[in-house]
Structures are given as structure tokens and as C-alpha cells.
Amino acid sequence: MTELRYLPDDDDVTEFEATVVETTADYVILDGTHFYPGGGGQPADRGALSWPGGEAAVVDARKNHGDVRHYVDDVRGELPGVGTTVAGRIDAERRDRLTRLHTAQHVVSRVVLDEYGAATVGNGLSTDGGWVEFEGADVDVAEIERLTNAAVDRDLAVHKAERPRAVVEDAVPEGRAQLDLIPDHVDPMRVVDVEGFDVCPCGGTHVDALGDIGTVRITGASAEDGVTRVAFDVTP
């Protein structure tokens, strides 16, 4: 098992040390990691591992039966053996951009729910930008952008914590999260609570205050089969 050290609220850490528990030609498993292994629409982190006498680029990270595999490339020296202490360094600039985009997605989803009663049914992001899909087709993109930035400008605190599932189910409004898709055994849940604005269970990385997002720009919108897709970007 790899301890997911970015949970529940250390998602601003990009340098850490950990111990190797398994090494293959393709990947290294550590006892704990700050690399986000992808999921919930957010891509995995990239970065590097280094150890006495060697280093490697981490080109992908993926969960596998409770472990996180750090896929390595450009290996210098021998890959580290079991028990070796390695230093992990996440590409902080890339992580920061994905973190700001991801948190912006929470705000856009909440704005769309409040303004149009429309539930988010899909979302994703890359370093090029993010997108949200929601039910319904009659939206005003300029209004979504205005309301999103109005929330961001309030610079609300973003709290990340483990909470009992029952508490989360009470706090999350209808249409905000697909709680029924989260297996029953997930209890407690990691929740992202934007103070006085939104609560949503989520395992990704998020800023500590909405002002850290920057400015959100809606870059496109399209509708098909009763689902609207809004693309967005963030600028510092």
C-alpha cells in the first residue's frame, strides 16, 4: 500500500522523501507519495525521483491495487532497490496549473448548479485547460464566467478534510456530486469545502483559497443531446 500523502490537505507539497518498496524496469513503488496518481478528471503528476548514485524522470503515476506506480524514464544509474530512501520532486509549475484548473472546475460546477439547477455529469482537465459537462442546454456563458470570477474574487478559504460519509451526504446538495457512484465502503470521505459556498467529495489537488486560482475564462461552449460542455482556462 502506498500512503497518499497529499491527502487530506497536504496538496501543496511538491518535494518529499520516501522508501522504495518495489522496483521493476518500468516503475518504482514507494511507501508513500505526494505524486497525484490521476483520477477524477485530473491527470497524474510528473517529476523526478533521485537517490544516492542515480535519478529518473517520473513520466506517469498510476494507482494499482492500493499501490502507486511511479513510471520512470531517462534513468541514470541503477534503479533504487527495496529499502532505499529516495527524494521525490513533482513538476511544481505543472501541478500548480492543474490544481488551479481543478479548483476552478469546482466553482464552475457550483455556479451552474445554483444558476441553472444543472448537475455536472462529467469533467476533465489537462495543462491546456479544463471542461465541465452538465445537464441542460440553455446557458449564458458570459454569466457563468462572471459569477465564477465573482466567487473567486471573494478569495474564500478552501478546506480539505476527511469527514464521515453521513455528514458529507447531508452537506452536498442534490446534483453537486454523484455520491451513489462512490462505493459504500468509502467512509470517511475526503471533502473539499469552499467556505460558505460549496462542499464536494473529491480526491484531487486544490488551492487553499479561491483567489489562488487567478482569473477564469470560459473558452468555449457546445451542446449535444441535452448536455452542455463548457471549456475554461485560468490565468494568473
Closer by beta carbon to Zn ion, 88 or else 204: 204
Q: Least distance from C-beta 119 to Zn ion, angstroms? A: 16
Q: Least distance from C-beta 98 to Zn ion, angstroms? A: 11
Cβ-contact 8, 160 below 8 angstroms: yes
Give which of 67, 46, 69 is closest to 58, Cα–Cα.
Answer: 46
In terms of C-beta density within 10 A (0-12 exposed, 13-18 middle, 19 or more buried), how is residue 134 classed? buried
The C-alpha cell at 144 is 457563468
Q: How far apart, in whole angstroms, are the C-alpha atoms of residue 118 and residue 136?
A: 6
Shortest-Cβ-distance residue relative to Zn ion? 202
The C-alpha cell at 194 is 469552499
Q: Least distance from C-beta 143 to Zn ion, angstroms? A: 23
Closer by beta carbon to Zn ion, 48 or else 191: 191
Q: Least distance from C-beta 93 to Zn ion, angstroms? A: 20
Summarize as ranges the residues that interact with Zn ion (CB under 5 A). 202, 204
Cβ-contact 135, 229 below 8 angstroms: no
Cβ-contact 44, 38 below 8 angstroms: yes
Closer by beta carbon to Zn ion, 151 or else 202: 202
Closer by beta carbon to Zn ion, 139 or else 202: 202
Closer by beta carbon to Zn ion, 89 or else 165: 165
Q: Least distance from C-beta 202 to Zn ion, angstroms? A: 3
Q: How far apart, in whole angstroms, are the C-alpha atoms of residue 107 and residue 48?
A: 31
Consecutive H or E run containing 10: none
Q: Least distance from C-beta 193 to Zn ion, angstroms? A: 11
Q: Kindly compute the dihedral angle of the four CA atoms of residues 48, 50, 56, 61, in this order, to the nearest 10 degrees.
A: -50
Closer by beta carbon to Zn ion, 72 or else 207: 207
